[in-house]
């Protein structure tokens, strides 16, 4: 997995030649690129023993964040037609990762809710990504990892 742990060849000029704002933007961009690269996502899925398609994992993660949610809200969030979400939800239901239940405010509608198995799968996926990051930073001192973690957490809090 060395290829997934290493950054891709830079497209932009070296970070040292940029101003602080440009360097931060370039660094955040590189982190997002790394986290969304196919080989990285594939390795996380392998480590988590997850055989779902990536699109189903994205839907599962959204259900976890949103709580009980209407399928139409999932489609709107992912900016797709409801007919695109339906097969993904059906797969998640067959796998026992989500369940549909009647909406108490409108018995004609259904809500999608996480199951304990879905929660466990997402925990495995998060754990696999954390392990991959730990592998990537294994040669950093504990102090350096803590320092960078604190800075990234502070940035993430400001982006919420």
For residues 131 and 49, the answer to whether their CB atoms sit within 8 Å is no
Question: Given this model, what pLDDT does residue 108 score?
Answer: 85
CA-based R_g, the chain, Å: 19
Residue among 28, 46, 11 at smallest CA distance from 125 = 46
Q: Which two tokens stand for residue 111?
A: 């809500």
pLDDT tens for 78-110 read 899 989 999 999 999 999 999 999 998 888 889
Residue 151, classified by CB atoms within 10 Å of its CB into exposed (0-12), middle (13-18) or buried (19+), is: exposed
In CATH, what number does 54-115 get? 1.10.10.10
Q: Which two tokens stand for residue 106?
A: 């409108």
3-state secondary structure (DSSP) of residue 75: helix
pTM of the model: 0.79
Q: Where are the domains of the chain?
A: 54-115
Give the integer Cα–Cα distance in Å for 18 and 20.
7
User: Which DSSP helix (H) or strand (E) runs through 60?
Assistant: helix 54-66
Per-residue pLDDT band at 19 (split at 50, 70, 90): confident
Give the integer Cα–Cα distance in Å for 79 and 58.
13
């Amino acid at each position: 997995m060395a290829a997934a742990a290493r950054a891709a060849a830079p497209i932009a000029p070296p970070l040292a030649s940029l101003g602080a704002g440009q360097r931060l933007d370039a660094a955040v961009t590189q982190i997002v690129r790394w986290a969304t690269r196919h080989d990285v996502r594939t390795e996380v899925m392998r480590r988590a023993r997850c055989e779902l398609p990536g699109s189903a994992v994205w839907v599962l993660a959204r259900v976890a964040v949103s709580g009980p949610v209407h399928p139409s809200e999932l489609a709107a969030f992912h900016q797709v037609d409801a007919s695109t979400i339906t097969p993904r939800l059906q797969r998640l239901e067959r796998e026992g990762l989500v369940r549909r239940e009647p909406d108490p405010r409108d018995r004609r509608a259904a809500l999608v809710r996480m199951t304990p198995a879905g929660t466990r799968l997402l925990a495995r996926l998060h754990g696999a990504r954390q392990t991959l990051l730990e592998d990537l930073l294994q040669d950093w001192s504990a102090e350096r990892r803590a320092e960078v973690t604190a800075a990234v957490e502070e940035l993430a809090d400001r982006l919420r």
